Structures are given as structure tokens and as C-alpha cells.
Structure 1
Amino acid sequence: MNVCAEKCIHEANVNKTVKDLPDQKEIVKMAEIFKALSDPSRLKIVLALLNREHCVCDIAVICQQSESAISHQLRVLRTLKIVKNKRVGKSVYYTLDDDHVMSLIHYSLDHVKH
């Protein structure tokens, strides 16, 4: 079994780690992001947007889902600031919200491929 053979608490290390932890609100927000990205449909949308912007119609074709289903998933991702959109004429184009999201996806992909 991979547990300590004897109970000992390294109080200084524990106190430093507790101090370094984000506050509960930040932890909940992080969990919401990971929860959103744990859905394969939403993750595929994010991966489709990793290198270029796409309109809803394009994303629907790429993900082999209806535009309605994609719009619903994009709404979730937009609420969490994972993606952002811009309107060009009658089309709405989506991109990843910022470099942080891009890094998170790249790190995850690198980890899976490693």
C-alpha cells in the first residue's frame, strides 16, 4: 500500500501549501473549466478552434453535429470564457478566448501524446 507507515504531519510544509492554494471561488471556477472541457463534444470544438477561427456552420461540419447542438455547446464555452465570438455580417465566428486556454489545451494534448 502506498501510504505513510507512520502518521506524521510536516506542519511547515502543510501551512505553506495551504497559504499557496487559490481561494475557494477560484478553485470552483477552475473545476467548472475542467468540467466543461471534460465533455468530448466541447473539447472537440475547442480543438477545432486551436489554430483558426470558425463560424458555427463550419464547426457543425467539423464536429458532425447540428448547428443547434454546436450553438448550445458554444454558449457553455463562452460563459466560461473559453471561447469568444465576433459577428461578421450574418455569420458569427468563434476563437479561443486567450492564450491561457490555448496553453491549457496544448499542455493537455502534449501530455496525452507523451
Structure 2
Amino acid sequence: MKAIEKDNRDICEDRCVHPQTVCLAKAAMLKDDKVQDLAEMFKILGDPTRIKILHILSRGEMCVCDIAETLGMNQSAVSHQLRTLRGARLVKFRKAGKEALYSLDDDHVISLMCQGLEHISHEDRR
């Protein structure tokens, strides 16, 4: 196996700390609880099935049966993913008779999806 050469192009050649820059960056740091919450949200968004569900729901409210049919999955598996998304406040549900209808929790979820899609589309243009 060929040894990987060390590439130092992405580090400073000389140690040169800029105190004012560091001070400003430290003052703007997120609190640890916010960092943890954000990391958890991105972890939840890191599942392809959940992304598909969010994308489907971005077009409007759907019942669990229709989501399962659209994805070619059983209701139990879809329900499990929806519980995770609901726990993260990304989706909400309501009962209409015997149906459980799901929708995106708010417009922020659509914004997250749009920003992510815009970013990956930007990456394709490199």
C-alpha cells in the first residue's frame, strides 16, 4: 500500500495568531447547548429516508398511508421516521377521523431544504 504524503498547504506556514480576530470570534461563538441542538438537527436531516419524507411533505399535507405508498415502504417504517421528525419539530400531525395527516412544522423546514439544495447545486457547478 502506498503511503499518503503529508500535505501542509492548508495550514499556516508560520504560527501567527491575530488577537483581535480571535477575540471577536470567541465573542460570537454559539453556546454549547445551541451547538448540540444544531448538531442533532443535522444528524436527523442526515438520513435519506427522512429527506425524502420532508421533500414529499413540502408539497403539502399527506397521510401516513400515502407517504408509505409513495416511498414504497411499510407504514410502520414510515411512522418510525415521522416520530423522529416530529420529535425534532420538523413535522407535525393531526388526526382526521382514522387518518394521521402529516405536514411540515413551519416554513423554516422548507428554507432548510431549499438552502441545502441550493448549496449542493452550487457544488455541481465547480
**Is this a same-fold pair by TM over 0.5?**
yes
Which residue of 19, 39, 58 corresponds with 2:66? 58
Q: Which of structure 1's runs of 4+ aligned residues deviate more than 3 A?
A: none
- State the TM-score, normalized to the length of structure 1: 0.94
Q: Distance in 2 between matches of 1:18 and 1:74?
A: 37
Give 1:82 shift: 0.8
Write the distance in 2 (CA, Å) between the matches of 1:18 and 1:95: 38
Give the greater-gyration-radius structure (CA). 2
Structure 1 stretches lacking a partner, 5+ long: none
- Secondary structure of the residue aligned to 1:6 is coil
Name the structure 1 match of 2:105.
97
Deviations 1:80-105 (A, max 9, x none): 11111111111111111111111010
**Shift, 1:113, TM fit:** 2.2
What is the DSSP-based 3-state SS (H/G/I as helix, E as strand, rest coil) of the residue aligned with 2:100?
strand
| Structure 1 CA distance for aligned equivalents of residues 14 and 73 of structure 2 | 54
Equivalent residue in structure 2 for 1:74, among 71, 75, 82: 82
What TM-score, normalized to structure 2? Answer: 0.85
Structural RMSD (CA): 1.0
Equivalent in 4, 9, 16 of residue 24 of structure 2: 16
Structure 2: runs of 5 or more not aligned: 1-8
1:45 equivalent in alignment to 2:63: no
Deviation at 1:71, TM superposition (A): 0.4
For this pair of structures, how many residues does the alignment match? Answer: 114
What's the offset of the Cα at 1:48? 0.7
Instruction: Determine what percentage of the aligned residue pairs are the same residue.
Output: 41
CA distance in 2, matches of 1:37, 1:110: 16
